Amino acid sequence: MPKTFRSCVQWFASMCMLSARALVTPTITLPSGDQMPQIGFGTWLAPRGRIYESTKVALDLGYRHIDEAWCYQNEAEVGKACAEKIRDGTITRDALWMTTKLWNNFHRPELVREGCLDSMTKLGVDYLDLFLIHFPVSFVPGCTEASSADQVENVLLADTWKAMESLVQEGLVRNIGVSNFEIPELEEVKAAATMPISCNQFETHPYYQRNDLLAYCKENGIAVTAHTSMGGAANIMAKFAASPPLKEDEAVLRVAEKHGTTPHAVLLAWGMQRPVMGTAVIPKSVTPDRIRANLNDPFSITLDHDDLQLFAMLDKPGLEGCFCHPKTPWLGRSEFTGSTEHYYA
């Protein structure tokens, strides 16, 4: 806390500005009525040792939605940062939206609660706002990355979902959903569900628009969070992508120049203003200026009809526009060869 009167005034003014940003950030209403902030702070592939400080910066700047996952292996760092910001009064737990995801090795119904509690312990929270089944694929218990077909097992999605519903009944989780699910897998869950699928998080951006999946989610009251919304040029599998970096696309650059902003801001704004339905976006950065820009700049842009028509023409067929999982064996996008090392070499 600043000690001089002038510094106190400056500190108070800055906190008011940050609070205002947190309050005006648009939200998406889930079936439960809970309001999920439309911009979240992404943590996938954030360098270890830096995500702790970056998370504190994000919370100071006004982010109130954190997107995590057990397999990111940084929940403890992020949880430590959130706890510190709660202790110093920057945020309250009620004002923070915490999403994390059940990894593939916890799909057996008897392991779902264990996976949830492990994430909650690392994050330092006594409930989750949103808990997602990370992939519609089950690994054998103890396997964190399946490198051969015998490490993948057939656990019914319906059984995993029923165990997820038990977490809501127990009060550990407020909302449950899925991630990287296609329409047939959503149908499988829906057939067994007694609670709504609150959200589906999947890769979607101008090169990989997934309009059929987006329309299905809208028709069925499922909110959408877009991951890889700026193209994921730094993704570990980007070298397998058939398309050049999205932020270098001529059309994206033209729209950014027209609005006097950056390609990053335009891509995030498109995600939130899509004609089919607005999605939540979860940009990741460990650079303070970029963290700030990702939160503030998209709100200065209103894409017009011409912009949206231009973006509509960028969609690519099949997996040509996919950056995040173009060759993931256990999603059926390539065959197991006995090893997956060549995918990451």
**Which residues are the active-site residues?**
72
Instruction: Name which of 46, 276, 311 is nearest 205 in CA terms.
Output: 311
Could you tell me the two tokens for 81? 């940062």
Instruction: Name which of 236, 231, 234, 256 is nearest 246 in CA terms.
Output: 231
Q: In what order do the strands lie in the sheet with 130-133?
A: 41-42, 65-67, 97-102, 130-133, 176-179, 199-203, 223-227, 280-281
Q: Give the number of other Cβ atoms within 10 Å of residue 29's Cβ.
A: 11
Crossing angle between the packed helical segments 75-87 and 51-61, to the nearest 10 degrees: 40
Task: Estimate the share of the chain in helix, then strand, then coil, as percent rounded to the nearest 5.
Answer: 45, 15, 40
**Bridge-partner residues for 139, per DSSP?**
152
d(CA 146, CA 17): 46
